[in-house]
Amino acid sequence: MKPTRLVLITGLSGSGKSTVAKCFEDLGFYCVDNLPLPLLRQFLHDPFAQVEGHRRIAVVTDVRAPGFASEFPPLVAELDRAQVNPTILFLESSEDALVRRFSETRRPHPLAADRGAIEGIRQEKEMLADVKGAADMVLDTSDWSIHEARDEVYRAFATAPGEEPTLTVSLVSFGFKHGVPSGADLLFDARFLDNPHFVPELRSLTGRDEPVREFLEAIPDYEEFVNRLEDFLGYLLPRYEKENRAYLSVGVGCTGGHHRSVAIVEELYSRLRSTDKRVRLIHRDITR
């Protein structure tokens, strides 16, 4: 059996360890945060036994654990390389960036006590000099956005091309009279199209039914609207993927959410499913 892939995430407080840990979770790693050193030693002795079924594990550990600076390097040296394949990932940032982050979050530095954040930052840098020196990879997050952090983690730790989390697109039909969907990223209004609701034989049907689709397809603007939406999403989705978006919600609304929006979302769903996109279909108001 191959050794367990183990990434030990450490570094300066405020340098983005929690954000980076979430990136590892997105890659399928089992993540553990801030174990006391005795428990960490027990965990690292045989991590596969602690979390059976997981062959990739990421552990966040830092100065929040008393004695960390002096005990961490020997602890790593004790690891059985036949059991685990460790990588020490050390995160750092400039003093200015760290001071700004502690100011923005209004949280005290764990070593500052009643002193200013900068004193705690400088003390921590000195304490962790040996830990940084033992690291396999040092990343400076001073100017990183969340997206840049994800890019770096995915490039360095994805085991195969395409393993990075893919974008899931939710196509949501809805009725404006019931309010717009919560959390929608993109909203489109189909109320300019003729409303099947005012055709007596279509009123009780929905956009899933063939007579309603035939009614709408006879409207020249319907086909053009769907084609333009498809083209627009074809332009946008790769750019959202480039930014490592995991989810995108696209809402199409009509008055009641029964006819026009349902038919349009059904058609978009059919077209996008023929590509490599992960697509979900939601008709929020079809039964109202």
pLDDT value of residue 21: 92
pLDDT value of residue 110: 87
| DSSP states along 32-61 | EE---HHHHHHHHHSHHHHTTT-SEEEEE-
Token reading at 48: 């596969």
Distance of CA 73 to the CA centre of its chain: 31
pLDDT value of residue 192: 97
pLDDT value of residue 157: 84
The 8-class DSSP code of residue 166 comes to P
Can you tell me the distance from the alpha carbon of 222 to that of 142, in angstroms, rounded to the nearest whole number? 49
Nearest to 234, CA basis, from 150, 151, 162, 169 = 169
The 3-state DSSP class for residue 18 equals: helix
Angle at 236 between CA 230 and CA 238, to 5 degrees: 110
The DSSP bridge pattern shows strands 84-92 and 137-140 to be: parallel
The 8-class DSSP code of residue 236 comes to H
pLDDT value of residue 42: 82
Q: Residues 69-98: pLDDT tens digits?
A: 888 888 888 888 777 788 899 999 999 999
Q: What are phi and psi of 279, to 5 degrees?
A: -130, 135
Q: Residues 164-186: pLDDT tens digits?
A: 556 789 999 999 999 998 778 99
Q: Based on the number of CB atoms within 10 Å of its own CB, is 104 exposed (0-12), middle (13-18) or buried (19 or more)?
A: exposed
pLDDT value of residue 236: 94
Helix axes 210-217, 220-242, angle to 10 degrees: 100
Residue 257 pLDDT more than 90? yes
Q: Residues 13-45: pLDDT tens digits?
A: 999 999 999 989 988 898 988 888 888 888 877
pLDDT, average across residues 140-152: 81
Nearest to 230, CA basis, from 207, 246, 250 = 250
Token reading at 43: 């965990």
pLDDT, average across residues 250-268: 97
**pLDDT confidence tier of residue 230, bands split at 50, 70 and 90:** very high
pLDDT value of residue 161: 53
Q: Based on the number of CB atoms within 10 Å of its own CB, is 103 exposed (0-12), middle (13-18) or buried (19 or more)?
A: exposed
Ordered structural domains, the chain, with CATH: 4-157 (3.40.50.300), 168-283 (no CATH)
**pLDDT confidence tier of residue 129, bands split at 50, 70 and 90:** very high
Can you tell me the distance from the alpha carbon of 199 to that of 206, in angstroms, rounded to the nearest whole number? 12
pTM exceeding the 0.85 threshold for the entire prediction: no
